[in-house]
Structure formats: C-alpha cells, structure tokens
Amino acid sequence: MSNAKHYLAAEADIDISSVSLSFSARAWSSIKKDKIAFLSVMIVIFLMLVAIFAPWFAPKDPLFQYPEGLSKIGAPQGPGSHFFLGTDQNGRDVLSRLIFGARVSLTVGVVATALASLIGVVIGTVSGYLGGWIESILMRLTDVVLSFPLLLFCIALIAVTGPSTKNVVLVIAFAYWTYLARIIRSQVLSLKEREFVIAARSLGLTTPQIIRRHIIPHLIPTIIVYSTLGVATSILIEASLSFLGIGVPLPQPSWGEMISEGQKYFQSAPWLLVAPGVTMIIAVLAFNLMGDWLTDLFDASTKVAQR
C-alpha cells in the first residue's frame, strides 16, 4: 500500500516537472518564432524598467519649468537636440514627463488589475464552488456592478471619494473585478465536476484545501491572461479619468493628463498630443499582444495536458 502511494507520488512528480519543463520550453520556442510576441514582451519589460527607474531614464526634471523651454513669445519648443520631444506650455520637458507618466500609468494599471483579479477570483471561485444562495447573491451583485457603464461608474465613484492616485486605483479595481468573477465562476463550475476534484472530495479534503490545491492551480492561466489584458484596460481607464481632469492629481504627469493639456495647444504644438498618444498606443498594444500570445500558449498547454 505504502509502496503504491510512493509510486503514485513519484509518478506525479515526474509528470508535473515534465509538464512545467515543457511549458517553459514551449514558451521559449514559441517566443523565438513569433516576432510580434517577442517584441511585445520586450516592450512590456522595457516599460516596466522605465517606470521603475524613471529618475535614471529621464534626461531632465519632469516638473521643472525650464526658462529655455519656452520661445521668446512664450510658446512651447518643438522637438530638438536640447529637448528631445519638445517642451510643453510651461517649458517642461515632454520626454521626461512621458517617462514619469509611465510610472503613474503602469502603477495604476498593474495595481488596479491585481486588486481586481484578487476580488474577481475570490468571488468567482466561492460562488462557483459553493453554489446555492451564496452564488445567487454574489452573482446578482456582480450583475448590478456590471450594469453600470464602466467609465460613468468610475467617475461617479471618484466624485464620491475625491481624486487621488490611491482612489483611482481602488475605483478601477472596484469597477473591473466583475469581468474576471464571471469568467472564473464559469470555469470553477466545470472544474468542480472533474474527476480529480471528486476524488479529492471523496478522500476527505476540506473545501478550502480543494480550492487551494485543485481549483486555483487550474485557474492560473485564465488569471494571467485576463490580468495582462486588464492592465491594458486599466491604463486606458486611468488615462480617460486623467483626461477628464479627475484622475491622478496635478502636478504629477500622467499620459491622459498630458493629452488633456496638450489638446489646448495642439494647433501650434502637435507634439504635445502625438508623443503621449503614440506612447499610450504602444504600451496598450504591447499588453494586448502579450495577452494574445499567452492565450495561445496556455491554450496549447491545456490541450497537451488533456491528451
């Protein structure tokens, strides 16, 4: 009996290690073949580094109003050798503001998504696994939050809580968790009918144990994919809020705020709009492409695992 157990455990070990090995190997080989995926992952890593080490990357002070940053009549300077991407209406360096803006946008995007994922996974798993009236209440609650138009809901919440970086993060998380909760719930519904969960239950494992050891690990691909896409969405929401003037408070530079300010001077200084806009598109595009690539990757790995 104990021999059989050991044998099973050993087999399981080999199985797990070979799967994980082949997974990272597959990730590596797929990223070598897929140039776009490679590029998107590189961009995401680069943006993260820029955000973390913003003071090292930024050539100038993002908040300082350089006297030489304005022309004689007080107009912003175009891109040139001194100010690489030009200056804004206050003579501040656009490139440095973009770099520090990355810090704000990515922090908000990542933290808000992490928080939303946490709430979504807990509510989705609990309601999917327990079912019954708990599920009914949680899912109707999800429906209620989901019924509010996302941006309008965020704005109303900001109006209540007041604009600050912390509130922007909380508000986005509070409005966004519903999407993941729905998806996770439907996955848990099918997972809990699978043989290994039934086996775990008949072996006498408690519900928290089953959820932790047998349900959550299967949800990780979904969580990773939707979190990656969620970062892209959160960056867009944060920019929209900042664009409307109720996002991250001034004078902190954020991409949305730069576009919002830039639109006033756009006719004479188009770089004020082009620079933050293009940066945002590249960032969001990179996160979306990385999400796509991860979806394909996990899709392939679940297929292999099932076989």
Contact residues: other proteins, CB under 8 A? 140-141, 143-145, 147-153, 155-157, 159-160, 162, 232, 236, 239-240, 243-244, 256, 259, 263, 266-267, 270, 273, 277, 280-281, 284-285, 288-289, 292
d(CA 178, CA 170): 14
In the complex, minimum distance from the CB of residue 71 to other proteins, in angstroms, rounded to a whole number? 22
In the complex, minimum distance from the CB of residue 241 to other proteins, in angstroms, rounded to a whole number? 10
Give the amino acid at 138.
Answer: L
In the complex, minimum distance from the CB of residue 201 to other proteins, in angstroms, rounded to a whole number? 22
DSSP 17-49: HHHHHHHHHHHHHHHHH-HHHHHHHHHHHHHHH
- Residue 167's nearest CA partner among 238, 258, 227 is 238
Our CB check for other proteins shows the closer of 5 and 140 to be 140
Residue with tokens 């070990």: 13
Q: What proportions of the chain, in percent to the nearest 5, are helix, strand and coil? A: 80, 0, 20
d(CA 99, CA 157): 28
**Which DSSP category does 263 fall into?**
T
d(CA 161, CA 171): 9
CB-CB contact of 266 with 272 (8 Å): yes
In the complex, minimum distance from the CB of residue 132 to other proteins, in angstroms, rounded to a whole number? 12
Our CB check for other proteins shows the closer of 30 and 288 to be 288
- Residue 45's nearest CA partner among 33, 62, 31, 59 is 31
Residue with tokens 């973009």: 98
In the complex, minimum distance from the CB of residue 280 to other proteins, in angstroms, rounded to a whole number? 6
d(CA 174, CA 176): 6
In the complex, minimum distance from the CB of residue 23 to other proteins, in angstroms, rounded to a whole number? 24
In the complex, minimum distance from the CB of residue 107 to other proteins, in angstroms, rounded to a whole number? 18
Longest dimension (CA), the chain: 89
Spacing of C-alpha 76 from chain mean position: 34
In the complex, minimum distance from the CB of residue 242 to other proteins, in angstroms, rounded to a whole number? 10
Handedness of CA 153, 154, 157, 159 (dihedral sign): negative
Our CB check for other proteins shows the closer of 84 and 148 to be 148
**Which DSSP category does 78 fall into?**
P
d(CA 125, CA 215): 8
Residue with tokens 């954020």: 254
Our CB check for other proteins shows the closer of 39 and 63 to be 39
